[in-house]
Copies of this chain bind each other. A is one copy, B any other.
């Protein structure tokens, strides 16, 4: 396998953009990424699009050539990957594999979702299609209610407290407030976070990520060719995708995600690092409990200790291991199909020391964890300075 580098990255702002359609968002991110990597469209040899539910949100399927041709990329394989909220994380994994294996040299990945054109109830229904529609979803569950059950069980088994969940929200809001591209730039207090409008007990409004429009893009190339394009390549040290049951009721335990543990194990091995080496991370905080469990499944802390870990401040920008300096899905926004690649873009910003006000001092080894559904897909990527 060849060493692979991210040679270009670009994102739109995340938010609710009633005047923007899916394609214009994807094209904006793609063009910023091409410019950032000094890559011409004709140099792209393979194109991936991560998108969860374009057909349901905006009535458009067959999205990969729809976007690639709008970017001036013609003829090459253009492939859409759908893996719920891990759609573009998975696309990134497959793009990496193509370059690492020597199939292609210059590969582009765009992630995009346009969600706000649908009313909230319909958004919940579309998201629910990433769960088991013949079981849990048929019984009336939404993702908020599934993660509420997960949170309740984590509280029962490990003594996790509401304050711990809220500490995730407070931290990610504080980070999002410094991110000019974040959807939610509002600092909140612990008291506010604990008293948000109820959604699915014990989760309230501040425990839930946002409904967003947005896109993100990266270009990968062999490390040995990176200098042709950029003086700021970022190395992909490890990346792995793993899977598990879609339905919560099929899992042995609902407070740990085997797909995360397996993907992390493979990514660490590939990168030749351990959890302890990871300096900072972008984790999939679709709900606050998900970030807490991720810190456990990734081995940052022991199982059950994720709540006290975030509450003690270890994951703030000035803590021992900053998590979600972008604001995370909670404050940056969560355009589902864009999230995986957006996490990569956020690692790249930190590693390149271009994160502005939210730049952290130790930024040479970062990890992104992108979760699909309630854990049926996970992609873990480890990036470092080249």
Which residue on B lies nearest to A66, using beta carbons? Answer: B246
**Using a CB-CB cutoff of 8 Å, which residues 6-50 of chain A contact chain B?**
21, 23, 47
In the bound assembly, the distance between CA atoms of A246 and B244 in angstroms comes to: 34
Q: Contacts A79-B83, A250-B69, A376-B62; is A129 near B55 (CB within 8 Å)?
A: yes
Q: Contacts A94-B94, A262-B75; is A60 near B242 (CB within 8 Å)?
A: no
Which residue on B lies nearest to A78, using beta carbons? Answer: B243
**Using a CB-CB cutoff of 8 Å, which residues 118-140 of chain A contact chain B?**
126, 129-134
CB distance from A17 to the nearest CB of B (A): 16
Please classify the interface of chain A as helix (H, G, I), strand (E, B), loop, or mixed, using the class held by over half of its residues.
Answer: mixed
In the bound assembly, the distance between CA atoms of A131 and B126 in angstroms comes to: 21
A243 & B68 in contact (Cβ 8 Å cutoff): yes
Q: Is residue A103 within 8 Å, beta carbon to beta carbon, of the partner chain? A: yes
A258 & B101 in contact (Cβ 8 Å cutoff): no
Q: Is residue A222 within 8 Å, beta carbon to beta carbon, of the partner chain? A: no
Q: Contacts A101-B102, A372-B62; is A242 near B79 (CB within 8 Å)?
A: no
A90 & B101 in contact (Cβ 8 Å cutoff): no
In the assembly, how many copies of this chain are there? 2
Chain B residues with Cβ under 8 A from A66's Cβ? Answer: 132, 246, 376
In the bound assembly, the distance between CA atoms of A63 and B132 in angstroms comes to: 9
Contact of A134 among B23, B55, B83 (CB under 8 A): B23
A65 & B102 in contact (Cβ 8 Å cutoff): no
**Using a CB-CB cutoff of 8 Å, which residues 207-260 of chain A contact chain B?**
240-246, 250, 258-259
B103 & A243 in contact (Cβ 8 Å cutoff): no
Max count, chain B CB within 10 A of own CB: residue among A52, A68, A81: A81
Q: Contacts A74-B244, A93-B77, A134-B23; is A62 near B129 (CB within 8 Å)?
A: yes
A83 & B59 in contact (Cβ 8 Å cutoff): no
CB distance from A348 to the nearest CB of B (A): 23
Which residues of A line the B interface, CB within 8 A? 21, 23, 47, 52-53, 55-56, 58-66, 68-69, 74-84, 90, 93-94, 97-98, 100-103, 126, 129-134, 240-246, 250, 258-259, 262, 372-373, 376-377
Listed from nearest, the 7 A-B pairs whose CB atoms lie closest are A101-B101, A61-B129, A78-B243, A77-B241, A65-B376, A62-B84, A65-B243
Q: List 27 A-B contacts (CB under 8 A).
A: A21-B134, A52-B61, A55-B55, A55-B126, A56-B56, A60-B134, A61-B129, A62-B83, A62-B129, A62-B130, A62-B131, A62-B246, A62-B372, A65-B243, A65-B372, A65-B376, A69-B245, A69-B246, A74-B244, A75-B242, A75-B258, A75-B262, A76-B243, A77-B241, A78-B243, A79-B90, A100-B103
